[in-house]
Structure 1
Amino acid sequence: MEFPGLGKRCGLLECKQLDFLPFKCSHCELVFCKDHFMPDKHMCTHGSVSVIEAGEPLKHYCCTHDDCSTSSSMEMCCKVCNKHFCLHHRHHGCSDTDQMTRDKERSKWEAPKRQFELAKAEADRQVDASLNRAKKKESLNKTALKIQLMRLKGKAAGSKGILVSDRVYFLIYPPLTFPQKSKAVFVAKQWSIGRVIDSVADICDIPNRNNQTTATKLRLFHHHDGQTLCTEMERKLDELLNEGTVMDGETLVLEYVNEKDHDSFCLKCLDQYKD
């Protein structure tokens, strides 16, 4: 049974093949079979058609290493011998140097690393030594402070109305203008710093004119570094104890200062405050 209306014949005169699935050229819009629908196959005469000629075949570079047949489309030449080698044989020994030269180069590159390691080890050693000295000194200071506190409790003077549980003990050095020995005193931890100074001055029999505006003021200082105990006279002694600013049994210095002077917050020549 024939189907004369089904399919199209190829537009190429030399072919004229009946094709049930013909292709239409997008340029000349003629119908062609599957073998001649490309423009270069039927010599398409459309003006905008440009036939692309086949390019040069891709080059393949074979590895020059013995017993290697690997090829690649990219040439990778050795900088020394200028021969192509595959990735597997790129380190083929052409640029190798003798063992002595390699050892010298390795030693040259590793020298900064060794210097850094030595410097780091020395820095760590110094830090550890400093920490150990600080810990040892802190331990000795705490032990000495405990011993001094025990001694102060046996001879300290103060108000008898202060409960034993509320007492805080200090060893007080008087001002340099008063040639007296240090004296053990106790005060109440609930007192303000201003009241503590007044009580210490009274116990040590030191003239106190803190209530006079133009007079030099009495202030308490740490004996170990000369720093003022506190510049705020209304602060409670208990607050300073909790902060660790002052310790029970510590040695303090009572001294006159001019608050207008910038050096009034730190004492100098601490070695003069001694018995």
Structure 2
Amino acid sequence: MAEFPDLGKHCSVEICQQLDFLPFDCDGCGKTFCGDHKFPDNHDCNQMNKQTATGEYSGERSYFCTFEGCQGRELMKVTCTECNKNFCLNHRHQNEHNCEKLEIKEDKTKTAEHVRQIIASKAAKAHPVPSKGKKSSKTAAKVALMKLKMHAIGDKGIPQDSRVFFLVYLPMQTKLKAKPMFFSKTWTIGRVIDSVADFNKISNPNNTGSEQKLRMFLHDCGGLLDTKASLELCLQQENLYNGSSVILECVPTDCSQIDNTHDYKS
């Protein structure tokens, strides 16, 4: 190689100094490196680290969850409409990130539980079901429950004694059959909707600016279920039963009733 003294360059890493005939120049520090040390992380590029630390990174952006102790991040912003902070999908609901606005409301009114009960029953009361129909729905749910338990899908981490079973009719445009599913009684209707969408790979526009949202309705009367109401409270008030049939549909934000419930068939 004495005949080609200028061919190739030595790696700038002090402990390497390898002669490379196809050397690489770092865009960060401008030094030359061999194939083993060409990436910034492989030669501890101080200049690249400075660019990243000062927010000058030009690659794909991501947004970190602000919930204490969570390292999750998303490619899109998931902002709480109450406190305006950013969270991952697991902490996007108010009760899941201990929303400071929710705490202030509880401290001021000291009637937060009563408020939640009013919100939970609001949608059901907008389209009340006659007592005879309620009794019929309760009986039908009991009959359906055993069959649902045999085939239901859901988060297997939910304890058996906390599971609530529904036959879920999926959005008509998906052309998917109704699915028996189970959820935790501690969840809100909003989280139930998210779980159904995830399990069935249905597009969920609920955290976007879309005028269409995924909402859940009672199959027997078409009444809207409030997204902030907990399943446990709905069961206590008999707006829902363990074994009930519900409809998931993408509707305008002001929709509070589905009239064509008979079109949703198993």
TM-score, normalising length from structure 1? Answer: 0.47
Which has more radius of gyration?
Answer: 1
